[in-house]
Structure 1
Amino acid sequence: MFETLPVGAMTCNLDTFEIDYANPCSIALLESIRDTLGFDPVDIVGTSIDVFHKNPAYQRGLLSDAAQLPHKARICFGTEWLDLHIHALPDSTGRVSRALLVWAIATAEVAKEQEEYRLQRMIDDMPVAVMTVDPVSFNITYLNETSMRTLGQIKDLLPIRPSELLGASIDVFHRHPEHQRKLLSDPANLPHRARIKLGSEVLDLQVTAVTGTDGAYLGPMLTWSVITQQVAAEARIQQLAHFDTLTALANRNTFREHLNARLSSPDCRLGLLFIDLDGFKFVNDSNGHLVGDILLSRVADRLRAHCVRPGTLVARLGGDEFAILIADAGVAEASALAEDLIREIVRPYQVEVDRRLEIGASIGVAAAPEHGTDSELLLSRADMALYAAKAAGKKTFRVFTPDMEFRLYERVRLEGKLREALTEGKGLFLFYQSITDIETGRITAREGLIRWYHERRGWISPVEFVPVAEESGLIDELGIWVLNRACQDAAGWDDDVRVAVNVSAKQLGKGTLATNILTALVRAGLEPSRLEIEITESALLADELDCLADLRRVRDLGVRVALDDFGTGFSSLAHLRSFHFDKIKIDGSFVQDAIQRPDCAAIVGVLADLGKRLGVTTVAEGVETQAHLDLVRAEGCREVQGYLLGRPAPSSRDVPLVAALNRLQIQVSDVA
């Protein structure tokens, strides 16, 4: 039926927001607006639906909410108007997984009407008064909404009511009608600008000629404003130029102007705070932008209330970032304020009658002249201190120190070397650590652990370079390398042991993980059942629905999914309910402390029993001694991992190269 429809019909996958079907009429219609598309219409299948809308986020929200469907709209696409109908397409389970879009290009007459309507609305909504006049009768033929509002404020100065002006003579606005008529009748006199007095008010008037497509004079258009209102409008423009519209705090431009002005003063002393809200993105994504805006306004109110010291400027730089300038202050005063603000910001926010939200704040502190007197340098150092505060666990502040600058430069260099290593395929290795069945002693899996040998620094810990990969966007490329290498190595093992691979939170929620895994399996010729991916609980804290959708696609391939470091994150039981994991790995910190601490031993036992009840394999990490092994066996764990049963070791093909690199590192250390 769709193939023969005389209108365009397309379907969109609501998981990826890609077009997965387009009928012949769609291709033909797209061909007619090919110049607007930016791609060949025959390639429409597989293209993101975002190409058809100026606001992709709004469009995705509309498509994802079945309650808003069916939906009818007329949208402007390039120079064309499209009539669009959107319908929900539920699958056999009732889940709305796709959307049907039926559309056609509006006729020339409809498009013309739409454009005229759009122009009419634009004129109606203009912040200045607009009138048009017939050049023959000199009667007023149009007044926009602003004209009516403005005239309503000076109605006592008019000979007739504002509602009676449409169709009335323009003479009511001028003491010399003959001069005015002569001016308006001849386009050669236009454009013209003047100020005229109407009673006690002065009007600022500009007259321009309106011509048709053939150049013929259609009449004059008058734009005008009362001077007193113009002054108010200019004040409003100044407000918008210098202050944030949501919070009424100073904006980024005003903040920079004040900073430069203060630093230019002799003997300047000032404190600078950079503030970033912890957890705001999660609140904003899960509760909606309206709640997010309310929360930002409440934070601004608290900052304003606590920054009352004379000469203090509070600004919103954008998003959830704020900055504070403190005049005649040093590190001590700025640090005291930072500590106070952290305590204030973490207090719960009552955004609705029955809804309380909690966030935190990380703050970077710098001061002049201690940390510089140049604005760019001072800003960058406050930003470095903020980065250090977030790295320290958030909900804290840090004052800039020179070693932060050194670490930043080192991080930039490290990122460059890591990018080079990925491009050339040099220096990266996978070491494997066994996971063993407690009762049989049989190895059930080997976990692949990324290792990197840096030509100057030697072996660099993953704790150092994996966060660099996550922050720089290299984590996807690094993750693909790990997947391919692990699958290739496992395919060459003599036994049928599974290989486990860690997946970063930054790799989830993009809709690409399952594809990358499938590609790695096919290239290596490895059965999906022999691959196991491990994720931490923290990976599910942001964009949880998208992350779970990714995990379900991975599970559909036949790949096992394990929850790593279990018990250390948030909402552990909720995560076990939302997705059936094949394995939970009890964090090694509990096992390490269980010998001396009965409470930790109890936690291990509870988690092992929970796994047994859920039919999930439990793995105790961090087993380094016989005492650890005896304890986790007694508590009911099924599998163990740790130095007692096997240390991480390179694959057989990498053993000679790793041994050579180890010898080289020892020689370099001896020389140093």
Structure 2
Amino acid sequence: MPEPGGTPGLVDIARRWATRLADTGPADLPAADLERALLSVAEEASEHARGGRDSAMARFACLYAAMPCGVVLAGPDGVVLDANPAFTELLGVSTQDLAGTPLTELGAGARDVEALDSLVRDLEPGTRPRRREQVELGRGEDGPVVTNVTVAALPGDRPGAAYPVLFAEDISELNLVREALRKQNVQDPLTGLPNTKSFVAKLEACLAAPGDDRIALIYLDIDGFKVVNDGLGPGAGDEVLRHVARKLETVFAEEEAFLARLSGDGFAVLMRGRLDTAHVIDLVEYAMSELAEPVYIDDRGVGVNVSVGIVVQEARGHSQEDLRRAAEITLHRAKEAGRAQWMLFEEELDCHDRRRYGIGAVIGGGLENGQFDVEYQPTVKLDGSGEIAVVNAVLRWDHPEHGRLKDEEFYPLADTTGMTPSLGRWLLTKSMSDAAQWYHEFPAAPDLCVKLPTRLAIDPNLVGTIRDELERTSLPPRKLRICTDSRTLFDPRGEVPETLSVLADLDVKITLAISGASDLELVHTYKLPVGFAILSGPLVGALASEGPDADNARRHLSVLLERARELGINRIGAEGVHSAEHAERLRRIGIVAGRGRIYGGSASAEEIRSLIRPSR
């Protein structure tokens, strides 16, 4: 006998079950009563099932309508039957417009149609969808809509039948965000030019490309950009940067050039091909002339000058790091040479500059690792006694790679890296400690003279630093001479004359380095408390031998010494004394002391101590 539910009618089912129950054993109720009882139970169960089914269908309908992503229901043949509100809003069409349309025809293009067709063909009833595709759906009012599409299968009313269901998620805004992030990653937002990351990638691609082409790498920096930024505001600075970008695009428009904005006010141009160096230079000069024309910002004309470093090399055999470094160093050379000009890469100069910059980069490490020391240059009285009048302290660096370096080889680089104050303070600390030891052993020991680098001389804390060192070492202030020159006095960043006056009040002696009478006049102009002067330069060198130059030098020096006495400077020494005859000629005109190779050049602190002992 069939199981309950095996026939379509509840009455038939109840009758068959009642007969079966009556035949299986004794029963208190006849078959007709059992039939009515079972029918009542069956109807109640059926009603309950219908209620559950209707509730489930209602919940499904609410979910279907409320889903934020688009849903399309299709028949087994893949033709659209219905779509939820999210999908009709996505494409801006009605359900009636979609009904009867094959799912695949919702795609905007051939690739999208093929993707939808593949998703439908891969359906397996009763399984989870295996993949999601990015598809443009082509019925939107504003053009195709970019979506993530998933197609699943609902079971049909007969075995093997499947109803495709398409889920579509709008990712247009997400793609816009992604595109914005992509541009931000490879594009400068201010000028619209590629950024450094994009430029490096392009350079690497050019170097990896086959062929015997040459590469031109041009680095440009705006001269005095900080003046524009600080004087007119960041908005004006931004407009200048945009102006430079537009001009460069115009100049290189007919070239196969890749332009980029590097950090700050820097720009770069990259070209590859059968390049002629002269043509590259012509383009650079044209760009410089175009940029020199003022750009007007709020009726104020701003002139733009640039410094340019140019590298033209064979593409083969170079890394992007080497080329970029060469361009950067060449650009720095253009700036150091006076700005508003271009410089062409030269191998020999590049090696020299790399050495210099390599030295400057590790000054801090050298100072920390004890590679610096102080040498002393004795200045000897020219009265024939051979007595040391003063020792001049100079800084030296025992560089592990380049050997012993003089201060003129690293002080300019220290200015660039900001290490000059640290070097100057170390020079004061070490030399004053040595001088204090000489003095405590030999009270008549010579004075210590320290010529401070300009960056330390203009330091507002210089007086405090010297006062602290005098207290620490117990060196009498009168045993210390601080030397300065015209370049330092004219530096606008400090108030050197006032500093020297305060040091003189502390009983520190002030020395002025001069090369002619004009330098001496600074004593009168600035009311400097100068007690000593050290003379160097052509006037001293001219007396190394006899001749017309020596006679002319004597006349000038006589006038200079007379003026020095009028200013209260009675003791003038000379630097660069080569021989005994040279020293004698200087003594005859009134120079009282000299230093130079005739006196042994530089010496260590212990060697100076040994020289002081017998003279005392």
**Could you tell me the TM-score, scaled by structure 1's length?**
0.49
**C-alpha separation between the residues in 1 aligned to 2:559 and 2:62?**
107
Residue 461 (1) aligns with residue 388 (2): no
- Counterpart CA distance in 2 for 1:182 and 1:554 is 84
Question: What is the SS of the residue equivalent to 1:196?
Answer: helix
The answer (yes or no) to whether the contact 2:432–2:448 under 8 Å persists in 1 is no
- Cα shift at 1:177: 10
C-alpha distance in 2 between matches for 1:508 and 1:477: 12
1:182/1:299 CA distance change after superposition, 3 Å: closer
- The equivalences for 1:564-643 within 5 A come to 588=515, 591=516, 604-605=517-518, 608-609=520-521, 611-616=523-528, 621-622=536-537, 623-624=539-540, 625=542, 627-628=552-553, 630-631=555-556, 634=559, 636-637=563-564, 641-643=574-576
Q: Does 1:653 align with 2:597?
A: no
Give yes or no for the alignment of 1:253 onto 2:197: yes
| 1:634-663 Cα distance to aligned partner (Å, 9 max, x none) | 26455665335522544673547999xxxx
Q: 1:306 aligns with which of 234, 240, 251?
A: 251
SS across alignment from 2:254: coil
Among 256, 275, 289, which residue is 2:220 paired with?
Answer: 275
Which residue of structure 1 aligns with residue 90 of structure 2?
196
What letter is aligned with 1:615?
K
For 1:525, the aligned partner's letter is S
Give the corresponding residue for 1:428.
Answer: 373
Cα separation, 2, equivalents of 1:350 and 1:443: 65
Separation of aligned partners in 2, 1:183 and 1:456? 72
* Deviation per residue, 1:427-469 (Å, 9 max, x gap): 6333347699xxxxx9998653334466886653333233444
Q: How many residues align?
A: 414
Q: Which moves more between the two structures, 475-484 or 449-458?
A: 449-458
| Cα deviation digits, residues 528-571 of structure 1 (max 9, x gap) | 67453647758987xx6xx4389978976768999xxxxxxxxx
Does the aligned pair in 1 maintain the 2:536–2:576 contact within 8 Å? no
User: Structure 2: which 5+ residue stretches go unaligned?
Assistant: 1-59, 69-84, 94-140, 149-168, 382-386, 544-551, 578-592, 612-616
Report the Cα offset of residue 325 of structure 1: 0.8
Distance (whole Å) between structure 1 residues aligned to residue 319 and residue 559 of structure 2? 64
Q: Which residue identity is paired with 2:190?
A: L
1:499 aligns with 2:449: yes
The corresponding residue for 1:548 is 494
Alpha carbons of 1:584 and 1:468: their partners in 2 closer, same or farther (altered >3 Å)?
Answer: same
The structure with the largest alpha-carbon Rg is 2
Cα distance in 1 for residues equivalent to 2:361 and 2:180: 47
From 261, 270, 282, give the equivalent of 1:336: 282
Deviation at 1:319, TM superposition (A): 1.0
Residue in 1 aligned with 2:108? none
Mark the CA change 1:427 to 1:235 in structure 2 (over 3 Å): closer, same or farther. closer
For 2:206, the equivalent position in structure 1 comes to 262
How far does the alpha carbon of each residue in 1:190-218 deviate from its partner, in whole angstroms, 9 at most, with x for none? Answer: xx997723463588899xxxxxxxxxxxx
CA–CA separation in structure 2 for the residues paired with 1:404 and 1:361: 17
The two structures, once aligned, show a CA RMSD in angstroms of 5.2
Aligned residue in 2 for 1:520: 469
Counterpart contact for 2:391–2:446, Cα < 8 Å: no
* Change in 2 beyond 3 A, CA 1:281/1:630: farther
Is the contact made by 2:576 and 2:594 (CA closer than 8 Å) also made in structure 1?
Answer: yes
The separation in 2 between residues aligned to 1:232 and 1:418, in whole angstroms, is 49
- CA separation of 1:498 and 1:377: change in aligned 2, threshold 3 A: closer
Distance 2:264 2:362 in 1: 32
* Distance 1:246-1:461 versus aligned 2 partners, 3 A rule: same
Q: Distance in 2 between matches of 1:308 and 1:473?
A: 41
- Give the direction of change, closer, same or farther, for the CA distance of 1:485–1:501 in structure 2 (3 Å limit): farther
Distance 1:205 1:261, change over 3 A: closer
Alpha carbons 2:489, 2:497 under 8 Å: kept? no
Residues 528/343 of structure 1: CA separation in 2 closer, same or farther (3 Å cut): farther
Cα pair distance change 1:383/1:354, threshold 3 Å: closer
Separation in structure 2 between the aligned mates of residue 406 and residue 314 of structure 1, nearest angstrom: 27
SS at match of 1:616: coil
Q: Compute the displacement of 1:482 (Å).
A: 1.0
Answer yes or no: is 1:368 the counterpart of 2:280: no
Match of 1:326 in 2: 271
- Change in 2 beyond 3 A, CA 1:533/1:402: same
What is the identity percentage for the equivalent residue pairs of Structure 1 and Structure 2? 20
Contact 2:214 2:315 in 1 (8 A): yes
Provide, for residues 97-146 of structure 1, a one-character-per-residue CA deviation record: whole Å limited to 9, x for no partner.
Answer: xxxxxxxxxxxxxxxxxxxxxxxxxxxxxxxxxxxxxxxxxxxxxxxxxx
Distance 1:378 1:236, change over 3 A: same
The CA distance in 2 between the partners of 1:382 and 1:447, in whole Å, is 41
Distance in 2, Cα, partners of 1:277 & 1:354: 18
2:595 counterpart letter in structure 1: R
**Letter of the aligned partner of 1:499 in structure 2?**
C
Determine if the alignment matches structure 1 residue 481 to structure 2 residue 448.
no
1:83-162 pair list within 5 angstroms: none
Larger strand share, 1 or 2: 1
CA distance in 2 between counterparts of 1:344 and 1:359 reads 10
Q: Distance in 2 between matches of 1:205 and 1:553?
A: 73
Q: Is the 8 A contact 2:191 2:241 kept in 1?
A: yes
**Aligned 8 A contact 2:229 2:236 in 1:** yes
Native 8 Å contact 2:447 2:481 kept in 1: no
CA contact (8 A) 2:376 2:608 kept: no
Amino acid at match of 1:647: R
**C-alpha distance in structure 1 between counterparts of 2:458 and 2:61, whole Å:** 70
Give the AA of the match of 1:197.
L
Corresponding residue for residue 240 of structure 1: 184
- The correspondence of residues 529-544 of structure 1 with structure 2, limited to 5 A, is 530-532=480-482, 534=484, 537=487
Q: CA deviation at 1:272?
A: 0.8
Q: Deviation of residue 502 (structure 1)?
A: 1.8
Letter in 2 for 1:265: A
> Counterparts of 1:354 and 1:523 in 2: how far apart (Å)?
56
How many angstroms apart in 2 are the aligned matches of 1:540 and 1:286? Answer: 24
Amino acid at match of 1:521: L
User: Residue in 2 aligned with 1:154?
Assistant: none
Contact 1:502 1:535 in 2 (8 A): no
Alpha carbons of structure 1 residues 351 and 641: separation in structure 2 relative to 1, 3 Å: farther
2:311, 2:345 within 8 Å by CA — same for their partners in 1? yes
CA distance, structure 2, for counterparts of residue 287 and residue 226 of structure 1: 43
Question: 2:413 & 2:334 partners in 1: Cα distance?
Answer: 16
CA distances 1:333-382 after superposition (whole Å, capped 9, x unpaired): 33333444455556666656457566541414242327x44323322332
Relative to the length of structure 2, the TM-score reads 0.52
Residue aligned with 1:260, SS: helix
Q: CA deviation at 1:270?
A: 2.5
Q: CA deviation at 1:317?
A: 0.9
Deviations 1:46-86, CA, capped at 9 Å, x for gaps: xxxxxxxxxxxxxxxxxxxxxxxxxxxxxxxxxxxxxxxxx
Structure 1 residues 225, 299: CA separation in 2 closer, same or farther (over 3 Å shift)?
Answer: same
Contact map agreement 2:378 2:388 (CA 8 A) in 1: no
Mapped to 1, the partners of 2:344 and 2:495 lie a distance apart of 41
2:322 to 377, 388, 402: 377
User: Which runs of no fewer than 5 residues in structure 1 stay unpaired?
Assistant: 1-175, 185-191, 207-223, 437-441, 563-581, 592-603, 660-672
Aligned residue type for 1:488: S
